[in-house]
Amino acid sequence: MNFSAHERARARRFAMQALYQWDLSGTDLPLIRRQFLEAEDFSRADQKYFIELLSELPKKVDVIDDTLSVYIDRPVVQLDPVERAVLRLAVYELLYRPDIPYRVTINEAVQLTKKFGAVQGHAYVNGVLDKAAHKLRAAECLKTGKQSAGR
């Protein structure tokens, strides 16, 4: 089943909120996942992707944080909790979901940060992810850079 961009974005939003809750509360992630699946309307969300994010990202959080630490100006634990959840989600996509274009990942992360983060948090997230994408998805960035160079 193919999901629309809107349904995937909604799954990301739910996942970011669940990861934020997990990060701050230390609550068992399967319990948080179950709460979200019961409380939120997944009729317009990619539930399978939400479940993937909540099951796979925590298993890889050390790799994600190590990768992220190269592109940020402070330790990961000192990031704003919303920005940390958004950046972890985006770096997961950059590392493990090459089927999702890096520009989509960055745009979705910026939109989530605008909605839930600090006033200028989206600018920080955009800068961090732009640097990360140019290293982690160098070939894709070069290819799309050549296409958009004629703007």
pLDDT digits (tens, 9 = 90+) for 110-151: 999 999 998 899 999 999 999 999 999 998 988 876 544 433
All domains in the chain, ordered by first residue: 5-148 (1.10.940.10)
Average pLDDT, the chain: 91
Structure tokens at 15: 């996942």
pTM of the model: 0.91
pLDDT at 3: 64
Is pLDDT larger for residue 1 or for residue 51?
51
Is pLDDT larger for residue 125 or for residue 29?
125
pLDDT at 142: 86
| Least trusted range by pLDDT, from 14-28, 84-98, 101-115, 132-146 | 132-146
pLDDT at 141: 87
Neighbours of 74 (CB within 10 A): 8
| Least trusted range by pLDDT, from 90-99, 100-109, 141-150 | 141-150
In the chain, the amino acid numbered 5 is A
For residues 98 and 80, give the distance between their C-alpha atoms in angstroms, rounded to a whole number.
Answer: 27
The stretch 83-100 carries a mean pLDDT of 97
Buried b (16+ CB within 10 A) or exposed e, 8-38: bbbbbbbbbbbbbbbbeeeeebeebbeebee
For residues 51 and 29, give the distance between their C-alpha atoms in angstroms, rounded to a whole number.
Answer: 11
